Amino acid sequence: MVVKALQIYFDRYLANRRLLSAIVEGSKDAIYVKDLQGRYRFMNAAGKRYLGQAADATLEQSDGVMFSAETRAQLAAQDQQVLAQGKVIDFETAIDTPGGRRIFHSTKGPLQDEQDRMIGIFGLEHDITRSKQIEEALQEKLAIQEQFVNLAALVPGTICTYRRNASGLPCFPYASASLGEIFGLSPEEVREDASAAFARIHADDMPHVLDTTQQAMNYGSIWNTGFRVNHPQKGEIWVEGFLRPVQQADGTTLWHGYLQDITTKRHAEEQMHLAAGVFDTITEGIVVTSPQNRILAVNEAFIAMTGYTREELLNQTPRLMHAERHDAAFFEAMQRKLLEHGRWEGEVWNRRKNGELYLKWLSVRVIRDGAGNLASYISVFRDISLVKNSEERVEFLGTHDDLTHLPNRTLLNDRLRQAVNRAERSGHRLALMFVDIDNFKLVNETFGHTLGDNLLLQTAERLKDCVRCEDTVARMGGDEFVMILEDCERDAVIHTAERILARLSEIYRVGGQECFTAASIGISFYPDDATEPSDLLRYADNAMYRAKEKGKNNIQLFSEDMAERSRKRLEIERSLRHAIERNEFFLEYQPQIDLGSHTLIGVEALIRWRHGGKTIPPLDFIPIAEETRLIITIGEWVVKEACRQIKVWDRNGLSPFTVSVNISARHFLDPNMVIRLHSIIQDAEVDPRRLCLEITEGAMEDIDNTMTMLQELEELGFRTSIDDFGTGFSSLSHLKRFPLHELKIDRSFVDGIIDDQDDRAITSTIISMAGNLELSVVAEGIETTEQLQELHGMGCQIGQGYYFSKPLTADRFNEWLSNRKSQT
């Protein structure tokens, strides 16, 4: 019984051992046992396979025999740790085997005997090389994926994949986070269905997007197009899309690419396009040159202004167009300023392809790159040749007469001042000669202004021929010339003046016709007559007017009596300027009588000036008022005063009659004259038909202007009359053109109407002509019964003169009128 039990136990023991041995030997993991000296006491078949050893080759061997130094150190450290801690420990071990380096999951633990004494180490090595490779590959893939995600975040746009889902709807299986910048949607919102994104494409662009997308899918081609998107935050933006088809393993196609917001780029392109248009349409020439001064680009204006083609200019230097008018120092200074300040501008002479020189205003600017290095030069210029010529022309006209090119008043004054200074230093005499062409107005009226200008040109040449080169001949304006003769004796000056009279008396050939004229010359001397330039000029002018008074075509030297007259004239001018405010003017009225009925039909208002306790005759101040243009203000005062007196007479119950007032030719040079006269009668509340405006024949010099003003006056209701008719030269030829109501026969004809056959014939002709033109006739200066009867017999309707009454103040006129009524 005991024997049988032992047999059974022993059989079981053997069976368990065989089972354990089979398990150990059949394991794919390496199993081994090492003693405390590190010798292998056991290793299963898997361990030996890994090491490439024979069945019992590893027994009694240590790690130092089978492994490299690196591996030995690793294994020794593990063994020491297990023995030190006395427990099972897991390690990851890299071992170089004949089949290559392999990675094992190591499990090591201590071996103890029955008395719990440490006798060795057991170990189990599970080969995890493949798992490790898979793990490392996965980690690498994840790292690459992370890098891709990071890179996608840096790309200026959205990285994406595109396809149609199972339902045929568009979707983006992958889209980077920046998709929100394109559609305002997250990647998750379009992963399965991108309809919401497509809904935000601009309606006008949607057909194009769908069409090109379908074509790309049909042909498996690249899709690349631009379109607009209505972004919920940014508004309308421009988007560019690019997708490349990639065939998948399952036979489907996935498009890989990007979507990019190109709004800024698009606007920049539009601006560039606009800039290019401006570049080629701007009127200024533009050239871009390299740092080496080679031409990179030119615009159309540059080509047009220089005459070169673009091909002839590119890669050339601007020196090609240099005019050789600037030296090297000029360009060196330009370059210095460019480098110091980044820009330069100024005038530069250049040469066109045809050789023509021209002046341009050049602006050059330095262009630098982001690093501050010189990138290019941009030069903009405009041709200022015409501007420069115009400036020179304006400058010339500032000191010279436009017609004759002689010095004008400005330059004359400057030269006269310098000449006086030289005469003062040298002690020499200086003469100033004032020349006025006699009857020039007649020449202008007869031959026209163009031929009149031609006569002035010939006169200027004749005057220059009569004096020395160093003498000055200037034109003051109109028909007046002034000459400065330096370092000359009195007799020589007079001789020169006589020569001038002779030359100006010679025949002029004007427009194929012969013309004769003469001149009046006035002369003043430095220092004999004056030492101030302005006085010399004024005295020569006074002498010239004295020459005219003496019958014209003669020479007058300035004298003391002229100085006295000049001083008196200045005194009158100064006082005249304050006469209105000092209430020194008053009117006198001379009756105008119907020669048939002897009834009063009107009066002429005549201005008088009471100054310094005496009355100054009109002939003493009216010409001065004309010359100084004070006549405009004085004339308006006369009209206002006449209107005031009309209202007084109306309030006193007098029968209405016309008041004639004189209007100067100067008024017709004032474009606002009609407006001011209308304003005066409106303020006075006087019927304009109560006023008759008497004008002199001098107002007819500008025929068209006078015609216009007279028509406007007639439309307002004013009556108009020509005063002193017959003494001018243009009345008969222009009379029929003017809207007139009355002619006044000059007193000079009335004076001789009894004894002078010519005066009688002229008067009869005037009266007859006026009748044919349906104009009234007023005869001035009637002083005798014989004159009255003769005029009435000729058909003259109205008379005026001392025969009826001298001019009277308003009070005296009222008395005269009362006496006249009592007599009748």
pLDDT tens for each residue of 352-394: 999 999 888 999 999 888 888 888 999 998 888 877 777 777 7
Token duo for residue 610: 């009471």
Q: What is the mean predicted confidence (pLDDT) over 647-669?
A: 89
Determine the Cα–Cα distance for residues 810 and 651; give it in Å rounded to an integer: 14
Q: What is the mean predicted confidence (pLDDT) over 754-774?
A: 89
Q: What is the mean predicted confidence (pLDDT) over 138-158?
A: 65
In tens, the pLDDT along 674-728 reads 999 999 999 999 999 999 999 886 666 667 788 889 999 999 999 999 887 765 5
Q: With both helix axes pointing from N to C terminus, report the angle between 409-426 and 533-549 in degrees, rounded to the nearest 10.
A: 110
DSSP 430: E
Q: Percentage of the chain surpassing pLDDT 90?
A: 48
pLDDT of residue 729: 45
pLDDT of residue 608: 95
> CA 66, 70, 72 angle in degrees (round to 5)?
45
- How many C-beta neighbours within 10 Å does residue 719 have? 20
pLDDT of residue 93: 87
DSSP 156: S
- How many C-beta neighbours within 10 Å does residue 122 have? 17
pLDDT of residue 671: 85
Answer for the pair 587, 605: CB distance below 8 angstroms, yes or no: yes
Determine the Cα–Cα distance for residues 699 and 441; give it in Å rounded to an integer: 12
pLDDT of residue 170: 92
Q: Percentage of the chain surpassing pLDDT 70?
A: 93
Answer for the pair 562, 451: CB distance below 8 angstroms, yes or no: no
Q: What average pLDDT is seen over the chain?
A: 87
Token duo for residue 353: 């392809």
Question: Global pTM?
Answer: 0.46
Residue 809 has pLDDT above 90, yes or no: yes
Q: Hunting for tokens 């075509």 — which residue is that?
A: 553
- Write the CA distances from 233 to 121, 153, 180, 203, 229, integer angstroms: 71, 20, 10, 18, 11
pLDDT of residue 586: 95
- How many C-beta neighbours within 10 Å does residue 679 have? 12
More confident residue, 502 or 822: 502
pLDDT of residue 142: 62
- How many C-beta neighbours within 10 Å does residue 653 have? 6
Residue 737 has pLDDT above 80, yes or no: no
Strand pairing class (374-383; 776-779): unpaired
Residue 585 pairs in a beta bridge with 609
In tens, the pLDDT along 449-467 reads 788 899 999 999 999 999 9
Q: How many CA atoms lie within 13 A of 360 on its CB side?
A: 26
Q: What is the DSSP string of 279-313?
A: HHH-SSEEEEE-TT--EEEE-HHHHHHH---HHHH
Q: Which amino acid is at 301?
A: A
Q: What is the DSSP string of 182-219?
A: HHS--HHHHSS--HHHHHTB-TTTHHHHHHHHHHHHHH
C-alpha 805, offset from chain centre: 69
Nearest Cα neighbor of 432 from 498, 499, 497, 502 is: 497
Determine the Cα–Cα distance for residues 785 and 754; give it in Å rounded to an integer: 11
Q: Which amino acid is at 453?
A: D
- Write the CA distances from 546 to 29, 234, 520, 528, 556, integer angstroms: 148, 90, 9, 19, 7
Nearest Cα neighbor of 254 from 245, 264, 262 is: 245
Determine the Cα–Cα distance for residues 229 and 182; give it in Å rounded to an integer: 8
In tens, the pLDDT along 551-575 reads 888 999 998 777 777 778 788 889 9
pLDDT band at 151 (very low <50, low <70, confident <90, very high): low
pLDDT of residue 202: 95
pLDDT band at 154 (very low <50, low <70, confident <90, very high): low
Residue 351 pairs in a beta bridge with 357
Nearest Cα neighbor of 351 from 380, 391, 387, 324 is: 324
pLDDT of residue 155: 61
Q: Hunting for tokens 């508004």 — which residue is that?
A: 235
In tens, the pLDDT along 217-237 reads 888 899 999 999 999 999 999
In tens, the pLDDT along 198-215 reads 999 999 999 999 999 999
**53-67, 203-217, 308-322, range with the lowest pLDDT:** 53-67
- Write the CA distances from 476 to 35, 147, 453, 544, integer angstroms: 139, 92, 14, 13
pLDDT band at 51 (very low <50, low <70, confident <90, very high): confident
Answer for the pair 216, 222: CB distance below 8 angstroms, yes or no: yes
Q: With both helix axes pointing from N to C terminus, report the angle between 630-651 and 618-628 in degrees, rounded to the nearest 10.
A: 120
Strand pairing class (518-526; 430-438): antiparallel
pLDDT of residue 639: 95
In tens, the pLDDT along 348-360 reads 999 999 999 988 8
Q: What is the DSSP string of 317-344?
A: -GGGGB-S-S-HHHHHHHHHHHHHHSEE
Token duo for residue 285: 């020439």
pLDDT band at 129 (very low <50, low <70, confident <90, very high): confident
In tens, the pLDDT along 257-276 reads 999 998 888 887 777 777 67
Helix/strand/coil percent split, the chain, to 5 = 45, 25, 25
For residue 533, say if its preceding peptide bond is cis, omega within 30 degrees of 0: no
pLDDT of residue 730: 47
Q: What is the mean predicted confidence (pLDDT) over 331-351?
A: 90
Residue 743 has pLDDT above 60, yes or no: yes
Q: With both helix axes pointing from N to C terminus, report the angle between 703-716 and 673-684 in degrees, rounded to the nearest 10.
A: 20
pLDDT band at 3 (very low <50, low <70, confident <90, very high): very low
Q: What is the mean predicted confidence (pLDDT) over 636-655?
A: 93
Q: What is the mean predicted confidence (pLDDT) over 128-147?
A: 73
With the CA atoms of 43, 46, 48 and 54 taken in that order, what torsion angle do they form, in degrees rounded to the nearest 10? 110
pLDDT band at 55 (very low <50, low <70, confident <90, very high): very low
**426-435, 484-493, 511-520, 586-595, range with the lowest pLDDT:** 511-520
pLDDT of residue 288: 92
DSSP 601: E
Residue 732 has pLDDT above 60, yes or no: no
pLDDT of residue 289: 92
- 3-class DSSP state for residue 251? coil
Determine the Cα–Cα distance for residues 297 and 290; give it in Å rounded to an integer: 10
Q: Where are the beta strands (DSSP E) in 113-157?
A: 118-127
Q: What is the DSSP string of 648-700?
A: HHHHTTPPP-EEEEEE-GGGGG-TTHHHHHHHHHHHHT--GGGEEEEE-GGGG
The structural domains of the chain, ordered by start, are 2-131 (3.30.450.20), 155-267 (3.30.450.20), 282-389 (3.30.450.20), 400-558 (3.30.70.270), 577-823 (3.20.20.450)
Token duo for residue 31: 């199993």
Q: What is the DSSP string of 494-514?
A: HHHHHHHHHHHTSPEEETTEE
Residue 116 has pLDDT above 70, yes or no: yes
> CA 514, 515, 516 angle in degrees (round to 5)?
130
In tens, the pLDDT along 290-305 reads 999 899 999 998 999 8
